[in-house]
Amino acid sequence: MFKSFSILWLLSASALADPVNTYLPVPSQAVGPPLNAAGYRVESYGKGAYMVTNNQYQAMFFVSDKGVIVVDAPPTIGYNLLYAIGNITDQPITHQVYSHSHTDHIGGSGILPSGVKRIAHYLTKVYLEDTPDANRPLPDEIFADAYTLTVGNQTLELKYEGHNHHPGNIFIYAPVQKVLILIDIIFPGWVPYSALGATENVAGYIKAHDQALAYDFDVIVTGHLTRSGNRKDVEISKAYVLDLEQTCTEAYQIAASPGNNISAQAIAAATLAVNPNNPYTALKAILTAMAEYCGNKTNGKFQDVIAGTDVYGFENAFKMTDSLRIELDAGGPFAVKGP
Ligand SMILES: *[C@@H]1O[C@H](CO)[C@@H](O)[C@H](O)[C@H]1NC(C)=O
Ligand SMILES: *[C@@H]1O[C@H](CO)[C@@H](O)[C@H](O)[C@H]1NC(C)=O
Ligand SMILES: *[C@@H]1O[C@H](CO)[C@@H](O)[C@H](O)[C@H]1NC(C)=O
Ligand SMILES: *[C@@H]1O[C@H](CO)[C@@H](O)[C@H](O)[C@H]1NC(C)=O
Ligand SMILES: [Zn+2]
C-alpha cells in the first residue's frame, strides 16, 4: 500500500514537470562576481571605460568630457544601464554604438534619451530595416569598413572584419584603455553558447579569434556571462574551436569508411529500413553520430578548462559537423561520387 502510493506520487510528479537535467558543477573561475542590490555590477577599465553586467549580458559606456558613448543596450540590463551611468557621471548620453543587430544585445536602446546619435555597420541597418522595432532605433551613421568615433576625450575605433556570428558584427576598440569589444564570439570561462554562439559563418567565426588577437588589448568584453575576458580566454576559445574542427573532420574520414560505429552507409541503411522514403532521417542520424563522436572527444579535453561543455558541447559539434558539410566541404560521406 505504502509502496504503491509512493510510485503513484512519482508518476504524478513526473507528469507535472519536464525532467530537470543535472550538469557538471560550475568551476569557481566561471562563477561571476556578485551583483549589487539592484541586480547589476559595474567594472572600470580606467580613463572613463566601464562595463555593466547582470552576469548574463554585458554593455559598455565611455565617459568623455563632452558626453557619454554607450555600446549596446541589452534589454535584460534595461534601466540598470542608465542607473550605472547616472551613478558615475552627470554627462549626458550623446552617442551609442551597435555591435550588431540582435535584439538580445541592443533591444534596450529605446530607453536611451532622444537625440542620441547611433553608429553601426551598414548591414546592421539593413537587418533593422527588415524588422522595424522601436526598441532598436535605426542608426544615424553607418560605415562599411572602418569608422573612428571621437567624442571629447574618448576615441573608439570601429572595424568590420568580415562575417562571423552575424553579418554586420563589428570589432570596437578603445586604444587608450586597450579594451576590445567583440560580441558573441568568445565566452570567457565557458564553452561557446549553442551552435558556436549561434554563428552564421563558421569560417568567419574561427577567423575572428586571430583577428581579435591582432589587437593590442588587455581586456576583451564579449557580451555574455559572468566576466570580461583576457588574451588567455581568446586563446582557449581558439583552441576549443580548432580542436572541434579537427575532431569533426576526423569524424568525416571515419564515417566515409565501412565497418565502424559511425559508418555513414550503415547508419543510412539501418535508418532508412525503418523510415522508408525519408531521407531526412538518414542525414540526421549520420550527422548526429559524427557530432557525438567529435563532441565527446573535444569535450573530454576541455571539460576541466571551461564550463558548460556538457551543456552545449554537442550543439557546437553538430554546428561544426554540418558546417563542414555545407560550408567547408569536408567531403567524407558527402564527397563527389563516381565515376
Ligand atoms: C575623459 O574625461 C573624463 C571626464 O573628465 C575622464 O573621467 C576620463 O578619464 C577621460 N578619459 C580619457 C581617455 O582621457
Ligand atoms: C543609482 O543607482 C541606483 C540603483 O543602483 C538607482 O536607483 C539610481 O536611480 C541611480 N542614480 C542615478 C542618478 O542614476
Ligand atoms: C563508437 O566506438 C568508439 C570506440 O570504439 C566508442 O568510444 C564510442 O563510444 C562508440 N560510439 C557509439 C555511438 O557507439
Ligand atoms: C557522447 O555524446 C552524447 C551526446 O552529447 C552523450 O549522450 C553520450 O553520453 C556521450 N558518450 C560518451 C561516451 O561520452
Ligand atoms: Zn548576436
Question: Residue 339: is the preceding peptide bond cis (ω within 30°)?
Answer: yes
Q: What percent of the chain has pLDDT over 90?
A: 88
CA angle (181 as vertex; 175, 187 as ends), nearest 5: 140
Q: CB of 274 within 8 A of CB of 257?
A: no
Q: How far apart are CA 50 and CA 251, in angstroms?
A: 44
**pLDDT for position 19:** 79
Which residues on neighbouring strands pair with residue 97, listed in sequence order?
71, 119
Q: Identify which of 166, 98, 165 has the alpha carbon closest to the alpha carbon of residue 137.
A: 98
Spatial CB neighbours of 338, under 8 Å, sequence gap ≥ 6? none
pTM for the whole structure: 0.92
The residue ranges of every structural domain in the chain are 28-229, 241-334
CA of 39 from ligand 5 middle (Å) equals: 23
Instruction: Pick the residue whose CA is nearest to atom 7 on ligand 4.
Output: 292
Q: Nearest bound ligand to CA 177? A: 1
Q: What percent of the chain has pLDDT over 70?
A: 95
CA of 214 from ligand 1 middle (Å) equals: 26
pLDDT of 148 strictly over 60: yes
pLDDT tens, position by position, 93-113 = 999 999 999 999 999 999 999
Mutation choice for ligand 4 from 296, 299, 309, CB with most ligand atoms inside 8 A: 296
Question: From the alpha carbon of 40, which atom of ligand 2 is closest?
Answer: 5
pLDDT tens, position by position, 220-279 = 999 999 899 999 999 999 999 999 999 999 999 999 999 999 999 999 999 999 999 999
In this prediction, residue 6 has a pLDDT band, given cuts at 50, 70 and 90, of: very low
CATH T-level assignment (fold) for domain 28-229: Metallo-beta-lactamase; Chain A (3.60.15)
pLDDT tens, position by position, 111-138 = 999 999 999 999 999 999 999 999 999 9
Q: Nearest bound ligand to CA 21? A: 4
Joined together, the cell numbers standing for residue 87 give 551613478
Spatial CB neighbours of 78, under 8 Å, sequence gap ≥ 6? 108, 111
Q: How far apart are CA 102 and CA 80, in angstroms?
A: 19
3-state helix vs strand vs coil in the chain, percent to 5: 40, 20, 40
pLDDT of 302 strictly over 70: yes
Higher pLDDT, 120 or 1: 120
CA of 53 from ligand 5 middle (Å) equals: 16
In this prediction, residue 4 has a pLDDT band, given cuts at 50, 70 and 90, of: very low
Q: CB of 110 within 8 A of CB of 81?
A: no
Joined together, the cell numbers standing for residue 49 give 571605460
pLDDT of 15 strictly over 80: no
**pLDDT for position 167:** 98
In this prediction, residue 317 has a pLDDT band, given cuts at 50, 70 and 90, of: very high
Dmax (CA) of the chain: 78
